[in-house]
Chain A
Amino acid sequence: MFLWIVFLTLWSLLFVNFLKADHPLRKNTVLILGFIILGFMVFLLATSNPFERIFPFGALEGADINPVLQDPALVIHPPMLYLGYVGFVISFSFVTAYLVHGDFSIPWERDIRNWSLVAWIFLTAGITLGSWWAYYELGWGGYWFWDPVENVALMPWLAATAFMHSLFASSKSQILKTWTLFLGIMIFALSLFGAFIVRSGIIDSVHSFANDPQRGIYLLTFSGFMTMFSLAVLVYRMPSLNSSKPIVTGSKESFISMNNILMITSIFSIFLGVTYPLIVDALSGEKISIGPPYYNAIFSPIILIASIFIMLSVDALWQRGMRAINVLTAIAPPLLMSAAILYAIWAEFHIFSVITFVGILSGLLIMTSYLFQITTSFVLGKYINKGSAMSHIGLGLLFFSVSMNSMLSYDKNINLSLGQSQFIDSSITKFSFNSLDRNQASNHEVIAARVVIEQDNKILYLQPEKRKYLTRGQITSEAAIHASPIKDTYLTIGDQLEDGSWTFVLQVNYLIKWIWLSAILMATGIMMTIFKRQTS
């Protein structure tokens, strides 16, 4: 929280100084930001005071940090996330300032644009780092579990993505004004909702920081008040905010609007998934769980429809519809190419599941659409928005890699004694458990196994560990990972059995690096957009 406040203050300072002294919204923005900062500072001092003394003595060795957090990626993941959330507090304050002020001719979209894009990059980086850390540190080999805390970070991200798109449409075509303002408020509301969930202890999650109703009450009341205030002003101003032009069917704006609706639906679905167990518990005491099966089923059709709209939007025009013939020539090549690739994948692997194939197809549709657009612009010299192309290709790659990973990855549970070898499958022809060392590091004891694997005619040396941290007695498992472009060979030690042999879990995870690459592509595309010279 302390870090959050520091970031918020710094970012506020930068933004307020960016607004020229005579900017009509400057006064309101400063007022609102100041109020929010005050609210958080009171929260800090009242419920989690870092300045309190521990009498008579604090712990001499410190209280130690949870071993799974003793890792470089975990140092940078919260700051990135906070910078993201905080950046959108800025846009929230600006939006509210605009609504309160009442002069709707002020070009607020233009002022807030780059600030929001930068905040989005931080948010994306923060979420990706969390995922990356979970993958290589937690030893489970997964990178996303639809855990409540992952979900409450994803919701503001979706709102932010929708916001950026409608901001763009709003500034280009004077439409979607109310929608954009609403989203600006929602990003803030959702990120504070996330903070509330994580810090109040009402949901069981790997991430629960604290079990403290006091913190929960404060966060809920404060963020509830701010949100309701802004929404009330929005609702009050809505009649005056109506855009002058309707949205033309088949125009670029129409597809952006459609995907905006899909993104809001996604937010609703995730929110429902997080809240429903609480509702059921409150009404009947029954305890149910909602996890990956639900979210995968709900998101599958959504991303397919979204990718179709993206495909259609690539060649769409602003404020004008497309003629049927143009639509056909626009979507036929990507559609055919995607179908061909999908068939090739089926022919090669013969593994079918509806959800993975839908995901693969969605990713292919997006990537091929932009590939064709890039090619035609190269050949014909047509204009192409490079940043947009890169970000969307990144998105398509994400859908594709996640689905392929789900389809192709596999696990093996193995039981070996020291010195034994085993044949695994046609790809991993030999798995040898060569040695077991016991060591002592600065704050933990280590049991390290040395394993040699022959995979695809290459030799890999892996050293998974089990660690016991001295201060808390906590035991963690450190995975040994060999990452190649196509697949990761991922090994963890389990337990020692009564006969002295050890259990291992060997995973082959496909296309993991492509997943990280897709996040990098998305962020790079946005950076290109930020630094693009503004064309009038």
Chain B
Amino acid sequence: MSIQNFFLSLLLFVSFGLLGEFIYEFSDTTKEKRFYNLISEVRCPKCTSGSIASSDAPVSRDLKDRIYQLIREGKSDQEIKSYVSDRFGAFSDYSPPKEGVHALLWFAPSVFLWLLLLIFFMRRRF
């Protein structure tokens, strides 16, 4: 290797050291968007209210780091949410469960709407 190349490599090496880094670096923007979306939907286990995105608590940081890893490992959003719920409870998911009796929660608004429409169209005088 010539002296010039040596110094060039040294310069490149040193200048990388001068750069900071992204804490959560992703190879593509879809993964990045998924990450920021997920952390806004995971509840901070330690705070009274709020997502881990808005929390500086140590456990929130641990969760963010772990979710970052899981996305890079190729896990899906649902798998990541299950991973978090297994450890911190269903409480940690800001999207309420949809299975079983909880499906009621998701259907109730439209049922209520149809009920009101029914009453309205039957009466027509208020």
A contact residues vs B (CB 8 Å cutoff): 138-142, 145, 147-148, 175-179, 204-206, 208, 242-243, 245-247, 257, 261-262, 264-265, 268-269, 272, 276-277, 280, 286-294, 297-298, 302, 410-417, 420-423, 431, 433, 477, 494-495, 501, 503
Contact = CB atoms under 8 A, between A and B. Distances in A.
Contacts of B54: 138-142
13 contacts: A245-B125, A261-B120, A272-B108, A287-B91, A289-B93, A289-B94, A294-B105, A298-B109, A414-B21, A415-B23, A421-B20, A422-B19, A477-B56
Interface string B6-47: 000000000000111111100000001100100011010000
B59 interface: no
A196 B72 CA distance: 45
A286 B90 CA distance: 8
A367 B62 CA distance: 44
A29 B36 CA distance: 53
B5 interface: no
Interface in B27-84: 32-33, 36, 40-41, 43, 48-51, 53-54, 56
Interface string B73-114: 000000000000000011111111100001001101100110
A205 B116 CA distance: 31
Contact of A420 (B19, B32, B41, B95): B19
Contact of A293 (B41, B50, B92): B41
Nearest to A248: B124
A210 to B, nearest CB: 13
A145 B51 CA distance: 9
A114 B104 CA distance: 41
Given A145-B50, A206-B48, A208-B48, A420 B125 contact: no
A289 B96 contact: yes
Contacts of B48: 204-206, 208
A206 B41 contact: no
A132 to B, nearest CB: 17
B50 A288 contact: no
A5 B4 CA distance: 81
B125 A246 contact: yes
A99 to B, nearest CB: 15
A494 B56 contact: yes
A288 B23 contact: no
Contact of B94 (A142, A175, A280, A290): A290
Q: Interface size class for chain B? A: 35 or more
Given A289-B96, A422-B19, A261 B91 contact: no
Contact of B90 (A265, A288, A414): A288
* 5 tightest A-B CB contacts, nearest first: A291-B94, A416-B20, A140-B54, A293-B95, A413-B23
B116 A433 contact: no
Contact of A291 (B41, B113, B120, B126): B41
Contact of B117 (A138, A261, A411): A261
A175 to B, nearest CB: 7
Contacts of B36: 410-411
Given A264-B116, A292-B40, A415-B21, A287 B90 contact: yes
Contacts of B125: 175, 242-243, 245-247
B54 to A, nearest CB: 4
Contacts of A433: 20
Contact of B97 (A261, A288, A413): A288
Contact of B50 (A140, A208, A477, A503): A140
Contacts of A268: 108-109, 112
B113 A288 contact: no
Given A208-B48, A246-B125, A420-B20, A272 B113 contact: no
